[in-house]
Chains A and B, each alone.
Chain A
Amino acid sequence: MSADKSHKIGFIATLVVVGVGAFAFTMGFYVLPSAGPSDTIWQRMCRGAGFVLTLPGGPRQVAPPTFTSVVVPHDVFGIGTAEQIGHGATLALRCTVCHGAHGLSGADAPNLAGQYPEVIYKQLLDYQRGARTDPVMNAMAASLTNDNVLDLTHYYASLQREKTDLPLADAPALVRVGDPIRNIAPCASCHGTADRKKGAPSLSGEPKAYLNAQLSAFASGSRKNDANADMRSVARGLSDADRSAVANYYAGISQ
């Protein structure tokens, strides 16, 4: 075939591609995103491209979010230094009334001994910033510096947890397999035994009253510092009996 003809194939193909492109872009950025004849080309193009347009009357007023704003830095996941743990032990003296001398509560407050560091870190910051509310804890957390938070985190994480292994075979169905038709994921998928997702607390050995209260608070929406509303979605689908069964299991109370 001659050079002229070969030149033609490339040229025609380019023309077709440009033609299809021109059609697609005209439809996608001019014809379809039109909101009426008063629309300017610029408005239509921005809308088509997904850019946020300023609405008439100025930008929309949005209430400040009340959910969690905590990003756990990667270094929190590791083990703290001896110095951090020592500082933490001193700071923790003011926590002992509720959380116990070694992080094991006798007062139905959560046991903190051996809790994952990222969990303690996030909850302290959520209390400090008001994303989680509790009259005592908001006050306690208010004056903590970031170093204080890290020291406390690593201190409690370094303590021995009360209970470690709860046999999965004995767990209620909700813990093992959830309930798919109610869109309830298994507790064990995030909170351990079957699998653990970083950021989800260990629940084994936590007081039953505390677990029950938190599930109720998530269900009613009075607690809302769970990222992506994961726990609120799960808790809303649970009946009183479900909550009790799950709380009993994690508290180590046999059924």
Chain B
Amino acid sequence: MKKKWLGLLLSTAMVTSMLAGCGGKADETSTPASEPTKEPTKEASEEKSTPAAETPSDASADGVTYVGDLEIMHYSTSEESEGNGGSDGFRTVLKMWDEMHPDITLTQNVLANAEYKTQIATLAAANDLPDVFLLQGMNTIDWANQGLVYDLTSDIKSSPYYSDYNEAYFAPFTVGDSIYGYPALTGGTCTVVIYDKAMWKDAGFDTFPTTWADIEKASEYFNGQNITTVAFGNGGKWQANSCFLSTLGNRYTGPDWFMSMVSKGGAAFTDEEFVKALAETQRLFTETSIFNEDFNVVTNEDAREYYISGDAAAFIGGNWDESYIWATLQETDQEKWSNMGFAVLPQPADATKAPKSQNIGLGYAVAINAKLADNPEKLAAAIDLAEYITGPEFASFVAENYALGGLTKVADVDLSGFDPITQDFYNWSYVDTETCEIYDSYITNAVWDVLNTDLQTMMNGDMSPEEVAANAQKAYEANY
């Protein structure tokens, strides 16, 4: 009897939840950012500004005459766009383009990032890529060589926005002289040191130290207070590469070395300068007490909580961590929030290059299926779409609403509507620092999988930098 009642109760709950799911259909045209969310987002103090979309009657002005279906595949899910300026901007501008072209039925296949990568790889293997899609930097060479991606060089160079493009962003999507995509979304740093100005002042530093020697000195003070000097999380294995080595390596090798790796120009992982960077990484993590002891177990999501709770005086992560910390502290601890400071990685004693560098870039580009060349009208529509969602409309949206930058430069970004922390971060990201490349935007996953795993072992002290370099080189020669 009891079970019957339980069964009945659960059935009712299920039916109710399903009905609620169906009944709660929100207005499909609403932008995801308009859904109620408690999480504060970095929007300028005024209401979110959306660039005025051209009216449908203006559609012909962009020269698009195609009538029919156009398919785009991307990973800016509703979830991804919550608080993520790049994704929010992408969805917003894509919707605007769709509205401007009523004769084109735009089909969007949206998957979460990890699943997107699996599905797009399968589609590429089967030579069945969608009309328009997001091309990851590290796939460019393979897919371009296989003739899967349309060569956009002349279209990009004749684009009305060409003079405003930040040309450095094209590098991961360029093979020889050919460019295969319009770099998409926003360029955010992958290596930023976020520190608590007040805590470092107490330790005797008015600004964040610029050398690791000073950090080691500071760690004596912080350890005495039972505080971690710098929190870091490499539990996912990719963080040490993307958020540490990619920048630290550049301090030893300079940018030419990595571009030579990308173009197979003769550089090798076993080169002395790169091995020095690995050795310094190992020294910092195994021989000093700067970092939290569990750095190889916890992820960046856990490590940033150490900073938020005050258990760590600084944190190393990417722009996605910065926006999370910013939002959390703004809601929970205004004083700590106002003490947020940003710095580049300190310079190792034996490194000679680019002391103010941080790695920044756009990991994905809007690319077009090479098969569209058979249908010039459809191709023109696809190029127009790619141009539009990476052009001034997108750039203005993310600059005005999130203080972020994309492919297209926006002249005179007005930051006055933003809080001082956001202004600081914008200037730190785009104005005050030098930039370098994000390693894993290039080459291939087969190499990074090997390097990341070995790097984690090396940071535990169980592998030498030379062995790590040799294994990475072996994987590089075998897979790239």
Q: Say whether A and B bind each other.
A: no
